[in-house]
Amino acid sequence: MTEAILSVGVVAKRCGVKISTLHFYEKQGLIRSWRNAGNQRRYKPEVLRRISVIKAAQRVGVSLEEIKQAFQSLPESRTPTVADWQQLSKNWQRLLDGRIAYLQTLRDNLTGCIGCGCLSMSSCPLHNPDDTLGTSGSGPVILEQAEQDAAVYGLEKNR
C-alpha cells in the first residue's frame, strides 16, 4: 500500500489553518514537505498530527520555539510512533504542570491584591501598603511570589 500524499490545500483545510500558516511552519522547521514533478508542495499524513499538536500547544501558551525543540526529539526519517509521542509528552509534562499551576494561581488571586502597585483594590493597603512591594521588584509581585512558591513544591514553570 502506498502512503497518502496530501496537497497544501487539503492539509490547510483539514487542520483549520491558512496555507500561509503551513508555509510559515515549514520555514520555522516545524513541518516538512517536498515538491512533486509539478513543483507543488506535498505532505505525508503525519503532518496533520504535527500541526494539531502545534495548535493545541500554542493554545496553552507554548511558544513555537518550545514546540520546535520538542519536535527535534521526533524522528525525521519515519513516522513517529506512539512511543515517540509519549516521550515528547513526558518532556512537556513539567512545562505544562508549571503553566497549569500558574494559571490556577492567577485565577485564584486575580480578585485580590497582586502587588502591582495600582493600590486600587480594598485589600491593597493590607498586602501592599503605600506600594512597599515596589521595592521588591516589578509587575505583580504577590502573584510572582506565588509562582515562585509553586516552584518550591516541584511545579516549576519553564520559561
Question: Could you tell me if residue 87 is inside a domain?
Answer: no
pLDDT at 63 over 50: yes
3-state secondary structure string across 3-17: CCCEEHHHHHHHHCC
Instruction: Find the mean pLDDT for residues 76-97.
Output: 85
DSSP 8-state secondary structure symbol assigned to residue 120: -
Q: How confident is the model at residue 15 (pLDDT cuts 50, 70, 90)?
A: very high
Longest dimension (CA), the chain: 73
**To the nearest whole percent, how much of the chain has pLDDT over 90?**
37
Residue with grid cell 487542520, as numbered in its chain: 15
What is the extent of the structural domain holding 29? 1-80
Cα 31 to Cα 33: distance, rounded to the nearest angstrom: 7
Asked if 80 and 72 count as a contact pair (C-beta separation under 8 A), the reply is: no
Classify the C-alpha dihedral 8-31-22-98 as positive or negative: positive
Based on the domain organization, do 56 and 109 belong to the same domain? no
Based on the domain organization, do 76 and 96 belong to the same domain? no
Question: Could you tell me if residue 42 is inside a domain?
Answer: yes
pLDDT at 66 over 80: yes
pLDDT at 26 over 80: yes
Last residue of a domain, one of 55, 80, 105: 80
Classify the C-alpha dihedral 91-93-98-103 as positive or negative: positive
Domain count, the chain: 2
Name every residue whose Cβ is closer than 8 Å to that of residue 7 and which is 6 or more positions away in sequence. Answer: 40, 41, 42, 43
pTM: 0.70
